[in-house]
Structure 1
Amino acid sequence: MNFNLRNAVLANVSGSSQDQLQHTIVDAIQRNEEKMLPGLGVLFEVFWKNADEQEKQHMLQTLEAGLK
């Protein structure tokens, strides 16, 4: 069985509104379940691939500050 998690996550959230995406993200964080982490990673990948350099820099600064 060959299961592509990335494609499954993308298919699951494809066409979602901003409110739906926010709910998905908040729900995944609040549940605090390890199995939700790959999905959040896929969403981060989508952000990163579509962000301009300024948005990427802002994300890196936010991550750095949050990890201190």
Structure 2
Amino acid sequence: MGLNLRNAIIHNVSGNSQEEFKDTIVDAIQSGEEKMLPGLGVLFEVYWQNASPQEQSVVLEKLENVLK
């Protein structure tokens, strides 16, 4: 089931513009609904898998700093 959810989320956002991605992320955060977390997780997973080691390092550093 998890794989189907992941694929459905990817299918739903494939081809989105930067503005549409931003709207999706902002809406998910502002709504505060737990049901939005899997979608954000899938977006982060796709980003992480395609990020360079340097980009991953920047993300890890930012997370470390904001979650101290």
Relative to the length of structure 1, the TM-score reads 0.93
Q: Which has the higher helix share?
A: 2
The amino acid of 1:14's aligned partner reads S
Percent same amino acid at aligned positions?
63
User: How many pairs align?
Assistant: 67
Which aligned runs of 4 or more in structure 1 are off by greater than 3 angstroms?
A: none
Note the alpha carbon deviations across 1:14-66, whole angstroms, 9 max, x for none: 00001100110010000000000000000000100000011000000111111
- 5+ unaligned residues in a row in structure 2: which ranges? none
* Unaligned segments of structure 1, at least 5 residues: none
Matched, 1:7 2:19: no
Alignment of 1:34-45 (within 5 A): 34-45=34-45
Question: What is the alpha-carbon distance in structure 2 between the residues aligned to residue 7 and residue 33 of structure 1?
Answer: 21
What's the TM-score, normalizing by structure 2?
Answer: 0.93
